[in-house]
Amino acid sequence: MKGENETTKTELEKKLEQQAFDHKLENTLSGAKVKNTKALKALLDMDTIKLDGDVLKGLDSQLDSLKESDPYLFDSEESQSSPQIVPPGNPNGGSNSTETDPFAAKLAKYND
């Protein structure tokens, strides 16, 4: 009975540690502006990442190398320019046009 309790206790402690690790990893990845955490986790070497208190050791170097090799996995830090809105139709309205209307030129030729 005592051995069974010890086994259960160690299993629950491992689950709790794994849950804390997963939670910290999710928070760190979302803070790093990762677009798809599931895809990025597949590229990480999870054996080298260790939770030490409140810090994930070994993650920063992997994230830096992934930012260089696969930048599409991360949100860009560049500010996006606002789109230029143009009114529909002919923006010149036809009145400022320097071109002559070919039909008007033909009509003027016959009227003279």
For residue 70, pLDDT over 80 is answered with yes
pLDDT for res 79: 57
Element of type H or E holding 10 = helix 2-31
Buried b (16+ CB within 10 A) or exposed e, 69-105: eeeebbeeeeeeeeeeeeeeeeeeeeeeeeeeeeeee
Residue 52, classed as helix, strand or coil, is strand
Domain ranges of the chain: 1-76
pLDDT for res 85: 81
What stretches of the chain adopt beta strand conformation (E)?
50-52, 55-57
pTM: 0.59
pLDDT for res 45: 93
